Structure 1
Amino acid sequence: MLSFSRIVFSGPFWAMFITLLSSGSLAVSTIPQLWNTHFGSGGFKLVRIMSKNSSFTRYQLEYPSDGLKIQGFVNVPSKGTAHPVVVMLHGYVTPSRYRTLDYTTRYADDLARSGFIVFHPNFRGQGGSQGKADADPFRSDYVRDTLNLIGQIRKQKGKGILKGFNGNVGLWGHSMGGGVALKTLVADPLIKAAVLYAPMSGDEAKNLKRIQMWSGGTRGKELSRYSAKTIAQHSALNYLGQVSTAIRVHHGTADTEVPFSWTKELCEKAKGQGLNIRCTSYASAGHIFTGKTDQAFRAEVKIFLKQHL
C-alpha cells in the first residue's frame, strides 16, 4: 500500500538528482518501483478562476511533481456538501498543439454538473506543464504526475475547495490517459473506481509497436532497447492481482486508433482474476464517441461513479 508523505532531499547529490528528474532523465519507474515510492509531497494551488457558471467554478490548477510545476484545471461544483473527486486523464494530442481546455473538457464539465470535483492535470511538457513530453516510453512519468496529485488531494481533504470532499477518489482516462489510469490504479489500491475509455494496452510491448506505427518509426524504438523482463515490469496486465478498484471499460468496435482487441484482452484477464470489472462495447463507434453513443457513455459513467464514489 502506498503511503503519502513528504520527502526531504538535501546535499549536492540530491540537487543533481532533482535536476535530472526534472528534465525527464530519471523519472522512469517500473510498477514495483512505484509501489515503493512516496507520492504527494507539497500541495496543489489555485492560480485563478478561469470561468464560473451556475453549476461549477473552473480554476486553473498548479501542483508539484518530481520537481516540476504541473498545470491543469479543476471544476468545483457550486451546490451540495459531499463531493467525491474524479481525476481525469487526457489522451495523446501532439504536445505542441495540446491546450488546457482540450477535447476532454466537455467530459469534465459534465461530471462537475453532476456533483463531482474534477481535477484535470496536463501531463508534463503539455499545456503549460513543465518537463518534457514523451520522455518516458512507458509513460510512468505521467503516472507519477497522477499519483502526486492524488496524494496532495488526500492530504488537503477538508480544506479550501476540498472542504466537501468525501474522501473517495476515482479515475477517468481516455486512450493514453486510459493506459495511465490502469497503471495508476495498479499502483494505488485506495482508488475506488476507474473509467477506462478506449484505453491503451496494459501490455507495454503492444503499446510500443503501435506507437512505432503511428509515428512512422520516429517513436517507440525503445522496444528493441529494453529486455522482455523490463517491459513486463512496466506492464499493468502482469499486476492485475493487486487491483481492488471497481473498473468500467468502454470501447468502440470500429476504433482505428486503439485496437478493440486490447480491451477484450484486459477484460478477459481481469475477469479471470476476479476483478470487479465490466466492459461495454459500442458497435461501429470510433476512438472518440459522438451523438447517441456519447450520450449513452456519459450516462453510464455517471451512474457507475455515483455508485462507487
Structure 2
Amino acid sequence: MTPRTARLCAGVLLVAAAVFGVVRLTAAPTAPAASARATPTAHATATASINAAPLDPLTIAAMRARAYAASTLTTVRSDGDQGGYVNSVVSFVSDGLIEYALQSVPDGSRPAAGWPVVILSHGYIDPRTYRTDDSSYAQFIATLARAGYLVLKPDFRGHGRSQGVPEGGYLSPVYTYDLLNLISTVKVDPRVDASRIGLFGHSLGGYQALRAMVISTSVKAAVFMSAVVGSLDDIFFHWSTVTATPTAAPPPVQQQVAQSLIANRGTPKTDPNFYNEASAINYVSASTAAVQIDEDVSDSQVPKLFSDHLYAALQAAGKTVEYVPYLGDDHQFTRNRAAVLGNVLAFYRTHL
C-alpha cells in the first residue's frame, strides 16, 4: 500500500497517479477557488433545472438518483472456523456483475434480530495483484467478528475475481456503486439486523464509505481510518503535504479515466461547481450515521488535512463525531494497532 506516481500530461497540469488509486494533480500556483468546499449554490441548482441537463455520474446527486438492487450473498468457499468466527468467500451481484467478498460470521447463536454488520471498504491494493483473502485487515476483521459483528470485505469490481473494470476510486463512481449494491443486499439478508449496518473505510476505501454514508440512510455508524475524505479540491491540490514514493504505474484504465475527466471538466480550479457537487464532504448534513475518525498525525501517505476537513464539516452539520489522533505511527497503524482496534470496537458498541 505504498504511494506511486506516474506522470500524465493534461494541459498545464501534471497528473500523478498515486497511493490507493488516487490521481494527484499539481499545477502552477493559482489563487484558491472561492468556497472550495462549499455546498453547491442555489444559482447552480436552478440553472441545472432550467437546462434539464443529465446529471454527471460523478456527482452525489447522480449517485442518489440511481437504483441499487439487492441480490443474495452466495457462499462460494468456506474457510472454516478461525477461532471465534467462520470465514467464507461469498458472491453478490452489483450492476449485473458477479463480485466477491470475504465474509466473517461470529460463532454462536445468531441474535433474534440478526447480526449487526460492518462492511469493510478496503484501501488501495493494485487490482492486478489483489486477493480476497489478503491478510491486510485480518486483525480488524477478527476483532469485530469475535465481538459479534458479521463482517463483509467486498472486492471492488476488477479486483480479484470480481467482474468489471477497476476504474479507480476518486474520479469514477463505480466502486461506490459496488458498496451501495452490497448495502442493499445486506438489508434483505435474513441473518442481518438491517437497522444496524456500519461501515469501516480505510484510505481509498474511506472515500467510498463517505460517499455511501451521505447517499444511504441505512448506514448507522461509520469509521474512517487514515481515509481519503477531503473534497476533490483537496485531492487535486492539497495532497502535497505528504511525499509519494514512486512505484509501478496504476492500470491504464485508471489513467484514462483521469485524463478523460480532466479533458472534459478541467479541475476544481476551473470548474468548482462541478467538483463541489462531486465531493461527498459537502453533503454530510444528509448523513444519519455517527462517525469516528482515526488518524495518525504523521501519516506519510494520506494527509491529516483530509480528516481535519471531514471533522470540521461534520461538526458544522451538528453530527455525532469523534476524532481520535495517534502519535508515532503511520498509515497502517502497525504500532498503535491495539489502541485503534480498541477505539473502533468501543465506538461500534456504542453506536452500532
TM-score by length of 2: 0.73
Q: Higher helix proportion, which one?
A: 1
CA contact (8 A) 1:182 1:202 kept: no
- Equivalent residues in 2 for 1:236-251, closer than 5 Å: 236-251=280-295
Q: Is 2:226 aligned against 1:198?
A: yes
Kindly state the Cα deviation for residue 64 of structure 1 after the two structures are TM-superposed.
0.6
Which structure carries more relative contact order (alpha carbon 8 Å, separation 6+)? Answer: 2
Q: CA–CA distance in 2 between the matches of 1:141 and 1:204? A: 16
Q: Is 2:187 aligned against 1:154?
A: yes
Letter of the 2:327 partner, please give it.
A
Q: Is 2:335 aligned against 1:297?
A: no
Residue in structure 2 matched with residue 275 of structure 1 by the alignment: 319
Residue in structure 1 matched with residue 328 of structure 2 by the alignment: 284
Corresponding residue SS for 2:219: coil
Residue in structure 2 matched with residue 99 of structure 1 by the alignment: 131
Q: Is 2:169 aligned against 1:141?
A: no
CA contact (8 A) 1:205 1:223 kept: no
Determine which of 185, 188, 198 is the counterpart of 1:170. 198
**1:83-135 residue CA offsets vs partner (Å, 9 max, x unmatched):** 20000010001111211122123211221111100011011111211111125
Q: Is 2:46 aligned against 1:51?
A: no
CA contact (8 A) 1:72 1:127 kept: no
Q: Is 2:149 aligned against 1:116?
A: yes
Identity %: 27
Residue in structure 2 matched with residue 21 of structure 1 by the alignment: none
Determine which of 259, 274, 282 is the counterpart of 1:230. 274
Determine which of 60, 71, 76 is the counterpart of 1:31. 60
Letter of the 2:306 partner, please give it.
W
CA contact (8 A) 1:28 1:136 kept: no
Q: CA–CA distance in 2 between the matches of 1:110 and 1:200? A: 23
Q: CA–CA distance in 2 between the matches of 1:123 and 1:63? A: 11
Kindly state the Cα deviation for residue 40 of structure 1 after the two structures are TM-superposed.
2.7
Residue in structure 1 matched with residue 33 of structure 2 by the alignment: none
Uncovered stretches (5+) of structure 1, i.e. residues with no partner = 1-25
Residue in structure 2 matched with residue 20 of structure 1 by the alignment: none
Q: CA–CA distance in 2 between the matches of 1:27 and 1:66? A: 18
Q: 1:53 to 1:296 in 2, by over 3 A?
A: same
Corresponding residue SS for 1:184: helix
Q: CA–CA distance in 1 between the matches of 2:120 and 2:330? A: 20
Q: CA–CA distance in 2 between the matches of 1:233 and 1:300? A: 33
Question: Which range moves more in the overlay, 241-250 or 40-49?
Answer: 40-49
Kindly state the Cα deviation for residue 250 of structure 1 after the two structures are TM-superposed.
0.2
CA contact (8 A) 1:85 1:116 kept: yes
CA contact (8 A) 1:108 1:118 kept: yes
Determine which of 94, 98, 108 is the counterpart of 1:69. 98
CA contact (8 A) 2:70 2:182 kept: no
**1:56-104 residue CA offsets vs partner (Å, 9 max, x unmatched):** 1111111111111111210001124322000001000111121112212
Q: Is 2:262 aligned against 1:262?
A: no
CA contact (8 A) 1:197 1:249 kept: yes
Kindly state the Cα deviation for residue 138 of structure 1 after the two structures are TM-superposed.
2.6
Q: CA–CA distance in 2 between the matches of 1:122 and 1:269? A: 29
**1:129-180 residue CA offsets vs partner (Å, 9 max, x unmatched):** 1111125643421111011011011112x2xxx1x63631000010000111
Letter of the 1:73 partner, please give it.
L
